[in-house]
Each structure stands twice: as structure tokens, then as C-alpha cells.
Structure 1
Amino acid sequence: MKKKLYPFQKNISNIISKHNLLQQDNKVIVAVSGGSDSVALLSVLHALPLKLKLIAVYVDHCLRPQETPAEIAQTQTLCATLGIKLVIRTVDVKQLAERSKTSIEEAARSLRYQALAEVKNLHNFDKIAVGHHADDQVEEFFIRLFRGSGSTGLAGMQLQHGDIIRPLLFETKQAIEQYLRDKTIPWSTDSSNCNRDFLRNRIRHDLLPNIEENFNPGIRNTLLHTMNVIREEDDFLNHMSEDTFAQCVEEHYHSDHDHQSLSISLDIDGFLCHHLAIRRRILEKICWKMASRPSFIIIADIDLLAQKGESGKELHLSGGLRVTRQQQTINFNHPPLRGTGRGTKKSSNNYILIVDALGSYHLPEASMTIQLEEEAADVAQPLKQPQLRVDLDKVQFPLTLRGVEPGERFTPYNGAGSKKIARYFNEKKLDKNKRPTWPILLCANSVVAIVGYAIEHGVRVTETTTRILSISYVVDAETTSLY
């Protein structure tokens, strides 16, 4: 006999079914902070008749040491009651914020999603479910508006983005908390939600109440409707730009002694006959394809090059990208890398970083920073995902960071022989868009580690190890589309 769902649970079930967020027997990582949103999310997913396999993940940001133990205890009790495995990950938000010169909010978000992705990859799960709701969506509109965003950003968070799903996105905070009260499920309150140092909290506690009292009491619904219109129009522009991209852009793949590279050519006449809104999207897409982070200024410069630039004029962009006008064509390419005096060779993925010593190394092409640190074997701390450890005495500086070469192989720790890295990526379900630039660490052209995933068997830590090389990474703060 089927268990009857609560009305709130039924609403979420309908959203999941209508938008194809989950399938029968899916394996889902659920982000659980102990707050009402994530507690309700875990409760609802557990109640659905989809036979989901769930793992709850609590990420300790090391920001509230007085509150965190109680939150963890409450989350452990909830998971034990539901029969759901709980994984706890610890991240150092302040360290990342200081090192990358980003806000505490951005650093926490980056590390949180990184931790969730690591647990998902470790267990070969299908989706990551997070508890964002309609009130979060409204607050996010103002955050993106104040920081500067185009229509894609102002359209708000998506129900599904890659492997991340947001089943509660159409529900209000009030409805979520009422559901928990009806089911007598306790939740924790994060004291930092009242800290007005954070922009989101100033929007939540100051700006929105002021607008509701003095301008429009229904501003939340008004904005949600507006965001829906923006989203639909943004989808239309995206479809238009996809068609235009196919008409005026050519992609060229080059092979040279088993090395592959991409170059792109843009037909200026076919490009300029379209509206600026379409042109911007085309240029942004080209930049991302060429592993170069775009900006408003960069897009404007390339568009101006198409309109008024002289043949032969060249722009130098991030990631080593060269943008050159030749008659009525704009060419995007990465020139062959030259030696650095340390035997640097051309890479099919167009970036090579020489690692001379321990420290932090930013890889814009992979949108992450690699951290290499030494640990004494007798005082090594428990391993934290996505941290890897190798025997430091089995490698020798300088090391190299680069993307994977076609056909490249390694022998995984405790693995059964050599394996192609491409096949390993398939097994780990690494996003195909990330594979070309995902970094590997090498010593004298031999693989030491696939960052965040695996080490080479030959450099593993053993009983005789005295010095350990710790390899970890943090992803760059996620950026929304410029337009």
C-alpha cells in the first residue's frame, strides 16, 4: 500500500515529476545544514515513492564553533531516524577568503559545492539536491542586480543546473517551516543569518521589509513573475544565439603528433548583421570554449574589433588566447607554447604550469587553485576530500601542472594495472566539459596525481614515508553568464 504524501510533499513530488528532476532508484547527495530548508528537503526526498538512495552531507565551514556541534548532533539524530547515511566534511572558509581575496560568502559557497561534488564523485551518485527556495530566489535577484548581471543572472537560480537540483525552489520559507511544524521535525537556526555584514542578510532583514512596507507589499511575487519572464526571454535569446553561432562560427580541431587543439574562426559579415545582444552571447560562448574567462570589457573589445578593427590587429586574452582579425574573419587560437628553460612542451590543452616549490598555483584554464603543502608523516591529519597525499621523497621539483594528453595513462593506487585517464574520467562521471582542462600533476613527464581524484600507485604513502606532499584544490567562485 502506497504511503500517502503530505500536501507539501505532494507539491514537491509534482515539481520533480513535471521537470524530470529525479528518476526511480536515483542516488542523490542531499546538502543538509540543519536549517529548515535542508531538513525539509531531506524529509521530503525520503518520503517520495521513488526508492531513492540518499546520502546527507553536512559541510562545516569552521565559522561558528559554538553552534556547529549542536547542529551536527541534531542532523545525526534526523539521519539516524530516517536511516540515511550522514557524511561530514570540514572546510576552511576564512583561509580561502584571505588567499583568494573573496568574500566569506563566496568562499563558503565555493567550498561547499566543491565538498558536495567530491562526495558525489566518491560514491558515484547521480545528483546533488540543495534546499534553495522562493525567498532565496528573490534575495538572489537583488544580490546579482547589485553586483552587476545580465538577463541570465537576473533570471535567477535554475531548478536543475548540471547535476544540481533545487526541488524546493517554488516553495516559500513560510510553507517550508509550516511543513516541519506539522510533522514536528526540529531544525536549527543559524545565528549568522542575522549578521548584517553579509549582503544577503541586509537584503532579507532591511531592504525587502522596507519595500514591502513602503512600496509594494507583494514585491516577492512580483519579482518571481518578473524573473520568470526574464528567464523565458533569456531562453529565447539563447536559442537565437545558438542558431547564429552555427551560421557564422567554425570550429577547427588540429592534430600534431597525437596533440589536439581547437581554434575558432568567426565570419564578420554574418556576425555583424545580428543584434548586439546576440553578438555578445556568441562571443561569450567562444571565449568559454577557448578556456578564456570573458568580461564585459573583453566582449566589447572583440565586438569593436569586428566592427572597426584593422586586418592584422590582435587582442591578447586570459588563458593565452589570441584574437586576431584577418580581413573579414576573426580568429581565436592559442599559439604553440614555447619552452620556459625547464623543458616545457606543447600541451593539447594549451596550458602548462611549472611548479618550482610548495605553495598555491592558480589555473585560470581549469578555474581552480592548486595547493601543495608538506606534512610530516607522524603528524599527518585525517585525509579530507578532495585532498590527496603522496610520498614527497618519491617526487622531485620542478613538477608540472597541465591538462590530460590524449591516450595518457596512469596506474591508480591499489588499482589493477595501467588505465587510460580518459577512461578513469568516464568511470568517475567527471563533467565532459571539465575533462579537457582538468589538471594532472607530473614529475619528469610521469603522472603523480589526477588532482582531486587519484594518485599514481608508485608515489603512494607507505610505512617508510617520512615526508608527505598534500595536494588539494579550491574552485574559483562560480560566475553567472554576463548576459
Structure 2
Amino acid sequence: MIKKVKLFIDRYHLLAADDIVVAACSGGADSLALVHILCELRSSYAIRLIVAHVDHMIRGQEAAADSDFVAEFCRQRGLSCFRTKIDVPAFVEGSGRSTEDAARMLRYRYLRQVAAEAGGAKIATGHHLDDQAETVLLHLLRGAGADGLKGMQPYSEGVIRPLLGVTREEVEDYCRRQGLSPRLDSTNLQTDYLRNSIRLELFPYLEERYNPAIKASLCRTAAIIGDEHAYIRLAAQGVWQQVVKQGESPDSLLLDKPAFVRQHVALQRELFRMVVEKKQGHLRGISFYHVEKMIEMMLYGRVGSECLLPGGLLVRKTYAGLEIGAKPCKQSSCVWDNVPEILLEVPGVTVVAELGCIVHARFIKATVTDKNLESVVLDADQITPPLMIRTRLPGDRFTPAGMKNGSKKIKDFFIDAKVAREKRSRIPIVCDAEGILWVCGFRQAERARVTHHTQKFLQLTVERREEKDGTDNG
């Protein structure tokens, strides 16, 4: 397998002489094989290899043992090993993020810190072809565009993925042949996480019932879409100067309407995404819904109308086109149109592309003690179907959990919770036929709250799309 990995590295020019590489290592099979292979190849490329490990403080003594295992593995091979502990549960409680998203974000933050302190090192992760297939299917379920469906790239934003050309089976076989004894992360067996559910439940079902080679098919699709997206981006760059102009303010860019409407819709979508990326440095939170709304605003919007994009960029319709990054008018409300009610699958998984999230609904045997603002447990017998998700509506009221009498306007609730005005119209709200049950990420209602009389428990979890990278095995 080392030869196969080396060919992949050479094909995509992932390593060069004198590179410093920080290998993310959890102690699992993927990352252990990554470190072992890079250790074998370091003399061939004349690179300096160091290792970084993060204990997320989620699995207690099991995680601490993983950290000691990685440190000893590195010591035996003369590798420097940087280790840290990050209290992810505490961060989740204060941030409202899901545990999975928070762990990923904090892990990458530490890896980039180590890479910077090492002198601008590349970060290597143990992603392989099976991870790629999971990422593509996950993005497909979320309603992603070409940028998401192209999956993970061999190199992106300082991260290299040398194992992206081999399968999980090859990685595990390599570990056996080399006498490596990877650690097992017990959370990888919990199907509460969407990615685990896809790996452990959905893929086996698809392979058995529809296509035994579904993973290879998805990876080929990702490669094709990636190549085609690269071509579309080049074409968009070619017409950039014709379409994108300086806005009315120094900090804004203008999509010129006459030049914009002459472009194919694929180029229109890419140009809009490129302008947003140029203005705020990323596309987090920007979904197909936002892109299509902007095109609609360009073609049919009222001059002077405004709205805010996720991330805080203001878009204004002018006589000349769309100005992105404009300063708001005092009179404008600057909000998106309300997202209409979307029926939730209970039990099941509902993709809410308009809000960039996925809602998981499942019946459980008892309530959970884990404090997570992205998850709620309701008394199923106190719910009046159907269950729906939407954004706020004028006049919305609910009785927050703990309030025994009366109700509160959603507007006043957001003000008291210090929610920024531009974010209020993008917060998901779960309701049934009688009204609001949960303001996602903030507070559930008193109605349908679990009590000692509850016999049927319904857990709802909102998974938000936070990053483009998908997964991290490091």
C-alpha cells in the first residue's frame, strides 16, 4: 500500500523536499496508518514529520488512554508528539453547536496552531476513499451544490490527505500486516451521529439492495463533479471583470445586471458564490437556497430591497444590479423571506436545505442528561401532529420552559436572549398543530416538556452545516 500512497502523493504533488508535516493522529486505524506510512516515506521526500493529538474530553479515561498510546507510538519512532486536552462538552454547552461540529472545529484550530508554530507546516489527515463516499452522500442528503458534491480534495487550505486513494479495507489490512494495534473510539459505533449512521446503516443497506459498489460510484461521481466545477470556476474567472464591478461604497462589490443575465445559470451561481467568498473569506452557511434567492432578487427584485446573508453580508438591489457588502438603509428590515413550514419525518431524517440543517427525529426509551442546545426531548403524547419546522412569523408567541403562566412574543424572547437582529429570521422553530414547541438552539416550550409522567420520549436533533471539509479522522 505504501507504493500506492506514494503514487497518489506524487500525482497531486502533496509533498516536496523540506516540507514540515503535522500528522493528525487519534490512534485509530486510519491515522495510525497515516503516521506509519509518512514515517516510512519521510526520507524519500526529505520531510520533517511531527504528530498532533487532541483529547476532546468526551470519553473520559478511554480518551486519556488513547493519548498515552499515541505518545508512546511516536516515542518508539523518534517522532515529536504534541498533545492537548480540549473540553468540548463545556464548549458545546456555551456555544449551542453540536458535539461533532464543535470537536471538529476545535481540533482543526489546534492543528493549525501546531502547524503555524512549526513554521508553516502542512496538516495531514487520514481520510480515505470510504470517508470520501460518506462525505459525498452526506452532502447529497444536505442538498449541497457542486462545491460540496466534489467531496474532499487531496489538498485544500493547507490540509493534505495522502490516503484518499485507498479504501478503509486496505488501511485496516495495512495495520494488520505491519503489526499495528489501533485504538477503537467507542463513539464511532453510536448511530446518533449522522455520519456514523450513514456508515453503519445506510451504506450496508444500499450495498445489499441496490449497488454493491456504491462507494466507488460516489467517489467517481465526486471526481467528475470536481473536474467540472473547476472548469466552471475557470470560466467564471474569465468573465469576472465583465460582470463584477466596484460597488457604491468602497467595501462593496456589484454584480452588473446586464452582464450577469447574459451568463449561463451555472456561471451566475458560481459568480455569486465567488463574490461572497471574496467579501467574507468563506462560504459557510451559504446554501443553494441563498444562491437561487439572489438570482431571483437580481432578475425580479424591487430596487432598494435588501437582505442579509449568513455571515452578515448585506445584499441590496440597485438599478445597476446586486450590491454585495453594501451599508444598510435605515428604513430597511434587512431580513430573508420566511421559510415556509416543512413537514418533519417522525421518526426519520428531514433535510431542510433552506436553513442549511438536518433534523433527526427518533423515539428513545428515556430522556437524556446531556446538555446540548441543538437537541431536545419532548413528551410525544403531548404533541399534536403534524410536526413541522419553519422560521418565525409575525405575532409568534410561546411559553418558554419554566414559565408557568402566560406566554412571550418570539421577538421579545430573541431580544432578551441577545440574538442579533440579522440572525433572528434564520433560526429554526419546531411546532405542531397547536404552536411552537422548540426554538432550536435556545429554548423548548413548557408544553410537551418531559415530566415524571412521560411514557413516550421523542428526541429531536438539529445538525447544522458548519464546514465544507466533511470529516476528520485525525
TM-score normalised to structure 2 length = 0.65
Query: Deviations along 1:405-457, whole A, 9 cap, x unmatched?
Result: xxxxxxxxxxxxxxxxxxxxxxxxxxxxxxxxxxxxxxxxxxxxxxxxxxxxx
Select which of 18, 21, 26 maps to 1:28.
21
For 2:197, the equivalent position in structure 1 comes to 202
Which has the higher mean CA deviation after the structures are superposed, 239-248 or 172-181? 239-248
The 3-state SS of whatever aligns with 1:34 is coil
**By how many angstroms is 1:336 displaced?**
9.4
For 1:86, the equivalent position in structure 2 comes to 81
* 2:278 is equivalent to residue 289 of structure 1: yes
For 2:119, the equivalent position in structure 1 comes to 124
Matches within 5 A, 1:324-339: 324-335=316-327
Say how many residue pairs are matched.
331
For 1:274, the equivalent position in structure 2 comes to 263
The 3-state SS of whatever aligns with 1:47 is helix
Q: Which residue identity does 1:181 align to in structure 2?
A: R
Select which of 33, 43, 63 maps to 1:40.
33
For 1:47 and 1:12, locate their aligned partners in 2 and report how far apart those are by CA, in whole Å.
11
Matches within 5 A, 1:252-331: 261-291=250-280, 294-317=286-309, 321-331=313-323
Q: Which residue identity does 1:196 align to in structure 2?
A: T
Q: Is the 8 A contact 2:260 2:268 kept in 1?
A: yes
How many percent of aligned residue pairs carry the same amino acid? 34
For 2:227 and 2:194, locate their aligned partners in 1 and report how far apart those are by CA, in whole Å.
27
Bigger relative contact order, structure 1 or 2 (CA pairs below 8 A, ≥6 apart): 2
Select which of 169, 187, 194 maps to 1:192.
187
* 2:161 is equivalent to residue 177 of structure 1: no
The 3-state SS of whatever aligns with 1:290 is helix
1:273 to 1:57, Cα distance in 2 relative to 1, 3 A:
same
Any unmatched runs of 5+ in structure 2? 331-464
Query: Deviations along 1:131-163, whole A, 9 cap, x unmatched?
Result: 000111111122222222112211111100021
For 2:374, the equivalent position in structure 1 comes to none
Q: Which residue identity does 2:213 align to in structure 1?
A: G
**By how many angstroms is 1:28 displaced?**
0.8
Q: Is the 8 A contact 1:29 1:125 kept in 2?
A: no
For 2:65 and 2:316, locate their aligned partners in 1 and report how far apart those are by CA, in whole Å.
58
For 2:140 and 2:204, locate their aligned partners in 1 and report how far apart those are by CA, in whole Å.
18
Query: Deviations along 1:99-141, whole A, 9 cap, x unmatched?
Result: 3322211111111111101111122232000000011111112
**By how many angstroms is 1:302 displaced?**
2.5
Q: Which residue identity does 2:31 align to in structure 1?
A: S
For 1:357, the equivalent position in structure 2 comes to none
Query: Deviations along 1:50-88, whole A, 9 cap, x unmatched?
Result: 121111001101111131232122212210111000111
Q: Which residue identity does 2:37 align to in structure 1?
A: V
Q: Is the 8 A contact 2:30 2:168 kept in 1?
A: yes
For 1:203 and 1:140, locate their aligned partners in 2 and report how far apart those are by CA, in whole Å.
10
1:225 to 1:301, Cα distance in 2 relative to 1, 3 A:
closer
For 1:230, the equivalent position in structure 2 comes to 225
The 3-state SS of whatever aligns with 1:180 is helix
The 3-state SS of whatever aligns with 2:251 is strand
**By how many angstroms is 1:253 displaced?**
10
* 2:64 is equivalent to residue 98 of structure 1: no
For 1:15, the equivalent position in structure 2 comes to 8
The 3-state SS of whatever aligns with 2:82 is strand
For 1:467, the equivalent position in structure 2 comes to none
Q: Which residue identity does 2:9 align to in structure 1?
A: I
For 2:146, the equivalent position in structure 1 comes to 151
**By how many angstroms is 1:224 displaced?**
1.5
For 2:400, the equivalent position in structure 1 comes to none
1:175 to 1:60, Cα distance in 2 relative to 1, 3 A:
same
The 3-state SS of whatever aligns with 2:18 is coil
TM-score normalised to structure 1 length = 0.64
For 1:109, the equivalent position in structure 2 comes to 104
For 2:158, the equivalent position in structure 1 comes to 163
Q: Which residue identity does 2:116 align to in structure 1?
A: N
Q: Which residue identity does 1:198 align to in structure 2?
A: Y
The 3-state SS of whatever aligns with 1:64 is coil
Matches within 5 A, 1:345-360: none
**By how many angstroms is 1:317 displaced?**
4.3
1:305 to 1:40, Cα distance in 2 relative to 1, 3 A:
same
Q: Which residue identity does 1:67 align to in structure 2?
A: E
Q: Is the 8 A contact 2:143 2:288 kept in 1?
A: no
1:99 to 1:296, Cα distance in 2 relative to 1, 3 A:
farther
Q: Is the 8 A contact 2:9 2:15 kept in 1?
A: yes
**By how many angstroms is 1:480 displaced?**
6.8
The 3-state SS of whatever aligns with 1:262 is coil
CA-atom RMSD in angstroms: 2.5
**By how many angstroms is 1:97 displaced?**
2.5
For 1:51, the equivalent position in structure 2 comes to 46
1:85 to 1:280, Cα distance in 2 relative to 1, 3 A:
same
For 2:245 and 2:160, locate their aligned partners in 1 and report how far apart those are by CA, in whole Å.
33
For 2:59 and 2:233, locate their aligned partners in 1 and report how far apart those are by CA, in whole Å.
42
Q: Which residue identity does 1:204 align to in structure 2?
A: R
The 3-state SS of whatever aligns with 2:223 is helix
For 1:283 and 1:207, locate their aligned partners in 2 and report how far apart those are by CA, in whole Å.
34
For 1:316 and 1:38, locate their aligned partners in 2 and report how far apart those are by CA, in whole Å.
40
Which has the higher mean CA deviation after the structures are superposed, 22-31 or 318-327? 318-327
For 2:150 and 2:311, locate their aligned partners in 1 and report how far apart those are by CA, in whole Å.
29
